[in-house]
Every structure is written in C-alpha cells, then in structure tokens.
C-alpha cells in the first residue's frame, strides 16, 4: 500500500481503501498421503455398526455422487485418531486438528508433539497397527515413529489418517445456518453439542434480529425450568455484545422462558399450546426418556 510523503505537520493518508477481495482458490492438490488416508477411513467406516459411528448417521445419497460413492462422508482435517479396540474401531479427537490450509503456518516442532500424543494413544490399542496394515495403510507406523522436522513432515501428518479423517456429513462439515451448522463456521465448543444433545432440543435458534444463534438449557431435563442461556451469537448481531459483556463479567446471558427463543428451543419438549417453556415435559417427550437404550 502506497503512502504519501509527509511534510512537517502533515497528515498521513493512503491512496487505496482497505478492502477484501474474493478470489478463486488455486487448484487444491490432493496428496498421496490424503488419498491413502481417505481410502482407509472409508474402509473402516464400512465395517462399523451405526451406533459406533463417531458423528451421527451415515450420509444419505442426494443429487450427484461424491468422490467416494453416492453417499460419501466428507473427511475433515480435525485431528482424527483412529484406533482398533477389542470390539470395534473408535475415533478420538486430537488435542489440535490441523486444517489443510493451516499447515503452511504450522511449526514442525509443535506438530511433532501431536505425533507423539497420537503414538501414545495408538500404542495403548495394540490391535491398531496390524489392522491398518491389513487395510493397506502400511505407512501408519512410519508416520507415528518418524519425528516431524520440516514442511514435508508437516504435510504428511496433516493429510494422514491421524489428522485428516474426521468423517462428517456435508452439513456438519461446511454447512451454514439456517440449514445445518458446520464445524468450519461455528465454534467447536458449541457445535460439538450437536452430537450429544437430546434430539428434541433445538440447539440452534433464530434470534429476534433475524440472525442465528445457539442456546442451552440452564438446568437438567425435566427440571421444569424453561430459561435458556445464549451460548453463541454471530458478530454483528444485536446479542453479540451482550454475550461478550456477560463473559467479561463472569455472568450468563439468559433469556426468559416465555421468550420466542426459549419456545423454539423447547418446542419439541412441550405441548404446542404452551406460552412458556417452563413446566413439565409433554407426554411424548417424557415417553422418550423411558425408551430402551440403543446399546448396553
């Protein structure tokens, strides 16, 4: 950015206003590391029973087929630590996941700590490396045992099974509200609740100014308390400053039980004619709590 020459007592000015340009991505190169990791993750997922999948149901085919079939998972570079237990495969999340573009600012020494963490976990599951070799992912042991010292090592780890293969549907990966909130666009401490919340609790709601945020109950299910805590509001929304102030003061931003937001959040847990979210669960919601467990 060019600057004018300042005379004594002059005022600095710039001849280009600050702006953001939207440009096309350079063609993304899919490394051999990622192709091998993705193929292995797909093979693992095909062997898993639905209750054991880490992030919800398998993707449902709709429209054009994906690169791995008509209803493929999208593989998120989110720190995917796959291990083989005695009963089935499991996936743990790493302390940090390295998104593909973030490898270019990643310090090899810091990435090597992630490798060491992964090696400790995999070593605790001795069935893992033989099972991966059987699936054709024979590079796993070398990845876990080779110190990361340069950009090549960072690339290999970034695109490996131990970082690049968190299986998500398109919505949970890259979606934007009001449809589905994706991990790339919403903070993980909030987005993560999508995978553990009650199915009949509406985590993501429309706020009074038309923006979309997230709320949580303030007490356990069945307590009768219909207040909700505002957990996320996008920057620029009328509620964003309120959340920031609450956090600065160590308080909660709470909406009343008769607010439209609370009624949205608890809509499937209360009778449709209720004007407040406080009170007992509806008969259908109470019946949900007495259903048999999916797994022992």
Q: Are 75 and 173 in contact (CB under 8 A)?
A: no
Q: What are 148-195's pLDDT values in tens digits?
A: 999 999 999 999 999 999 999 999 999 999 899 999 999 988 999 999
Q: Label residue 15 by pLDDT band (50, 70, 90).
A: low
Structure confidence at residue 203 (pLDDT): 96
Structure confidence at residue 234 (pLDDT): 92
Q: Label residue 48 by pLDDT band (50, 70, 90).
A: very high
Task: State the chain's mean pLDDT as an integer.
Answer: 87
Structure confidence at residue 19 (pLDDT): 61
Structure confidence at residue 135 (pLDDT): 97
pLDDT(231) > 90? yes
Q: What is the pLDDT averaged over residues 240-244?
A: 90
What is the rounded CA–CA span in Å between residue 46 and residue 43? Answer: 5
Q: Label residue 266 by pLDDT band (50, 70, 90).
A: very high
Instruction: Specify the higher pLDDT residue, 69 or 264.
Output: 264
pLDDT(95) > 80? yes
pLDDT(293) > 60? no
pLDDT(200) > 90? yes
Q: What is the pLDDT averaged over residues 59-69?
A: 53
Q: What are 104-159's pLDDT values in tens digits?
A: 889 999 999 999 999 999 999 999 999 999 999 999 999 999 999 999 999 999 99
Q: Label residue 25 by pLDDT band (50, 70, 90).
A: low
pLDDT(70) > 50? no
């Amino acid at each position: 950015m060019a600057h004018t020459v300042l005379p004594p007592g002059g005022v600095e000015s710039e001849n280009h206003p600050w702006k953001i340009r939207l440009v096309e991505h350079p063609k993304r190169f899919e490394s051999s590391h990622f192709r091998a990791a993705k193929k292995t993750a797909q093979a693992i997922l095909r062997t898993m029973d639905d209750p054991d999948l880490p992030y919800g149901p398998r993707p449902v085919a709709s429209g054009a087929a994906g690169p791995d079939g008509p209803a493929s998972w999208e593989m998120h570079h989110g720190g995917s630590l796959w291990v083989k237990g005695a009963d089935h495969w499991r996936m743990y999340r790493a302390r940090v996941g390295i998104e593909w573009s973030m490898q270019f600012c990643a310090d090899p020494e810091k990435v090597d700590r992630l490798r060491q963490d992964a090696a400790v976990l995999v070593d605790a599951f001795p069935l893992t490396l033989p099972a991966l070799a059987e699936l054709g992912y024979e590079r796993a042991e070398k990845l876990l045992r080779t110190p990361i010292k340069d950009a090549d090592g960072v690339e290999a780890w970034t695109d490996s099974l131990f970082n690049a293969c968190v299986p998500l549907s398109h919505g949970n990966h890259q979606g934007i509200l009001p449809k589905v909130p994706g991990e790339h666009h919403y903070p993980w401490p909030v987005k993560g609740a999508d995978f553990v919340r009650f199915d009949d609790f509406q985590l993501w709601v429309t706020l009074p100014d038309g923006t979309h945020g997230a709320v949580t109950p303030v007490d356990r299910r069945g307590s009768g308390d219909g207040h909700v805590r505002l957990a996320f509001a996008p920057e620029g929304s009328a509620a964003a400053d309120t959340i920031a102030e609450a956090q600065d003061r160590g308080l909660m931003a709470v909406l009343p039980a008769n607010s439209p937001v609370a009624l949205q959040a608890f809509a499937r847990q209360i009778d449709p004619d209720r004007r407040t979210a406080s009170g007992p669960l509806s008969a259908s919601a109470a019946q949900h709590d007495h259903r048999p467990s999916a797994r022992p």
